[in-house]
Amino acid sequence: MATTEESNAASNPTYAEMVLAAITVLGEKEGSNESAITNYIETTYAGTLREGYTEGISEALKRLKERGELLFANELYIKLDPNSAARRGRGRPKKPERTVPPGALPPTPRPRGRPPKPKDSLSNAVKAAGGSPRLRGRPPKPRDSNAAAVKAVGGTPRSRGRPPKPRDSNAAPVKAVGGTPRSRGRPPKPRDSNAAAVKAVGGTPRSRGRPPKPRDSNAAAVKAVGGTPRSRGRPPKPKDSNAAAVKAVGGTPRSRGRPPKPKDLNAAAVKAVGGTPRSRGRPPKRNYSYAVAVKAVGGTPRSRGRPRGRPPKPKDSNAAAVKAVGGTPRSRGRPPKRNDSNAAAVKAVGGTPRSRGRPPKRKYSDAAAVKTVGGTRSRGRPPKKHQPEVSSASRAVEKANATAPAVSGVKRGRGRPPKLKPTVAAE
């Protein structure tokens, strides 16, 4: 039996041929992995493989990859076409060599690396004058002028870069009592306290984010009877039911939107006789027919519409004549008041000239004497004297006395006497 297996194994092709045949038969475009190739070989050559054939297949794949017959990418082996172009090697391809004609000197090879930057043309002049030329690169930042003074008094100068953020002053006391100090960054959102209880009773806790919209409860019933459930979003507008009938008779169905305005039927006829058809919109207002005539005689035509603002006042007709004789025409507005001609003379003798406006009223000369004796005189007309109140009985007595005939005369009552009524003589 062992002799039969050895003879069958000797008649098998090599592992490399088995691998190439397996990849060809599998025919995967992206390539075949090692396990698929091994399974195919086991199925095809079952019972005729020698012990340790898996190591032989791995060695065959490695040799084929090194010889360039297989391409290995993403754990897959791809068989290369023998008519395809040669595989590109690793690294940058070499540049083609330049051909030098016979008798010519070979060119100087270009040095490797980036060419140096041009030197500063003024550096030699600066060195000749005893200065220091500008150094290469970015100039260093100025040092802190207060660093030496701060070190002299035993302090610590400011370090480079952004200062660190202040630490939490409460971290040490919180740790001392066994707590956890506040961590850096934004604190996490609180978890749902009901999640454990919901899971304990077999429910599903609320998920993060906005809950999804409820689905249509009638969708399953509509599908069961062969209908189409309502789709998401706004339903489309109904189509024109008469469109098919209009097209059938060779017409044009109504388009979407507002129909266009009818065109002017007379436009073609007007253009045919060399005229200008009516334009769209309201026609412009007619021009003032007398404007050309008014401009011809040097006048100013009437402007369109009502003028803006208050109309200007008429100019002074005598201004030109006054200027012609060397005078000054009257200015606009109220003329200023005349100055007091006696003011200079009054000031010259040490007096006070009369001020503008109405002079103030004279003060009461006896006011000081009245105040001395404890009195008070007010300005203006003195008030009327207050009369004492009269009782109703006294008023009745006065009225009786006024109506009763008197021996020596009639006492005049208070107020204006009533008018006498006219008496008509009896016929």
Q: Which domains are delineated in the chain?
A: 2-79 (1.10.10.10)
Neighbours of 15 (CB within 10 A): 20
Instruction: List 32's β-bridge partners, or say none.
Output: 77
Give the pLDDT of residue 85.
Answer: 58
Residues 6+ apart with CB under 8 A from 337: 356
d(C-alpha 137, C-alpha 160), whole Å: 20
Q: Per-residue b/e over 385-417, b at no fewer than 16 CB within 10 Å?
A: eeeeeeeeeeeeeeeeeeeeeeeeeeeeeeeee
Cα 202 → chain centroid? 50
pLDDT value at residue 1? 44
- To the nearest 10°, report the CA torsion of 234, 239, 241, 242: 160
Q: How far is CA 57 from the centre of its chain?
A: 68
CA separation for the pair 411, 407 (Å, rounded): 11
Give the span between the Cα atoms of 233 and 185, in whole angstroms: 41
In angstroms, the CA 266 to CA 416 distance is: 94
Q: Quick one: tokens of 347? A: 């000031």
The C-alpha torsion from 131 through 134 and 136 to 141, rounded to 10°, is: 110
Pairing of strands 70-73, 76-79: antiparallel
d(CA 77, CA 32): 5
Element (H, E) at 77: strand 76-79
Q: What does the pLDDT read at residue 82? A: 63
Count Cα neighbours of 287 within 13 Å in the Cβ-side half-sphere. Answer: 6
Length of the chain in residues, anyone?
Answer: 427
- Are 319 and 306 within 8 A, CB to CB? no
Helices (H) and strands (E) in the chain, counts: 16, 2
pLDDT confidence of residue 91: 78
Q: pTM for the complete prediction? A: 0.23
pLDDT reported for residue 427: 46
pLDDT-flagged residues of the chain (< 50): 1-2, 406, 427
Q: Are 32 and 77 in contact (CB under 8 A)?
A: yes
Please classify residue 5 by burial: count the beta carbons closer than 10 Å to its beta carbon, then call 0-12 exposed, 13-18 middle and 19+ buried.
middle
- Amino acid occupying residue 124: N
Alpha-carbon span 134 to 17, nearest angstrom: 71
How confident is the model at residue 400, as a pLDDT?
A: 67
pLDDT in tens, 297-324: 887 776 666 666 787 777 777 888 888 8
